[in-house]
Structure 1
C-alpha cells in the first residue's frame, strides 16, 4: 500500500482548514462560545479532529518533523482534569458573584430601613415634645399685656433644658444622617459599577 507524500506545511494547512471549517459550522448552529454546551461541543470537535488526523498519519508519508509534533504544535493536548477544574472554578466564581450582588442589595435595603426608623423615631420624639408644650391662646380676647401672663419659671426652665438637649443631639443626628447617606451613595455607586 502506497502512502501519500505531504510536507509538514501541507499537513499543517490541512489541519488548519479542517479546524476552521468545523469551527465555522459549529458557530452557525451553536450559541455563544461562553455557553457550556458550545464549549463541550467545541471540545468534542477538537478531539474528533485530532483522532481523524492521527488515523490519517498511517496513510501519509510526511517530509519533516513527525506528524504528532506537527499536530501538537497546532493544538495542545487536551487535559480533561484541568478542564473540569477550570469549569468548577467558573461555577464557583459565578455563584460568588450572585451572592455579592444579593448582599449589596440586602445591605442597601437594611441601611434604608435603619435610616427611616431613626428618622421616624426622632420625628416622633420631637412631636411628643411639641405636643407636651402648652398651646398659646391667639384669640382676639387675649390681652398681650405682660402683667396678665405671669412667667412660669419652672416651665421656662424645662423648655430651655429640652431645647438644649435637642440642640446637643442635632449634630450627632446630622452626623449619623450624613454617614448613612454616604454609605448609601457608596453602595449605590458600587451597584451601578458591578
Structure 2
C-alpha cells in the first residue's frame, strides 16, 4: 500500500487481542473443523491440538470470515473475537484460547502528514530497497550501528510485478528531525537504490504487565 500511496504514519496503537472458540454447536466434542486466519490458528495451536485433535484446521483470509463460515456449517467452529460471536450469533465454547496473554496487534494511524514535532520518545518508519550487489544489506544497515540507533523492526517483502526483488520495511527509534537521524538517513540514502520515509510518530506503550485501573 505504501508504495502506491502518499499517506504517512502519524501514530501507532497496540490493542490486546483475545481469541475464542466460536460455533453454532453447544459441545466442543462436536467440532470437526476449525476456521481462522493463519496467525490466529498458530497462536491457538496448543489448545486446538490438545482439546480438539480430531478437528481439521482451515486457513481463511480473516477471523471475521472464519466466523461467517462457522455460522453456516454444522460441526464447524472459528477462532475469532467476542465481537464476531455477536455478529454471527455464535456460542463461545472456550474463551481466551491463545497461548499467551501478551497477545497484541499493532495498528497504524495514517494521515497526509506525520507527527512533525519530536516528543523525545519517537519512532520512525521507512521502506527501502538495496542494490543487487554483495553486502548491500550490510552496508544499508551499517549507519544504524554507527549512530547507535535501535532497530525495532526489519522485514522484507517481494515487490509486486518484479520477480526476485524485495522491499524492506524498517522501524527504528528516533524522529526524522533529530540531528543524528538526519545524518543516518543521508548515509542510508547513499547506500540504497530506493528510500521512502513513511513517517515519524510517538512510540505507543503496550502497558505490558500493568493492571487495569
TM-score range, shorter chain: under 0.3
Between structure 1 and structure 2, the one with the greater Rg is 1
Structure 1 or 2: more helix by fraction: 1
TM-score between the two structures when normalised by the length of structure 2: 0.20
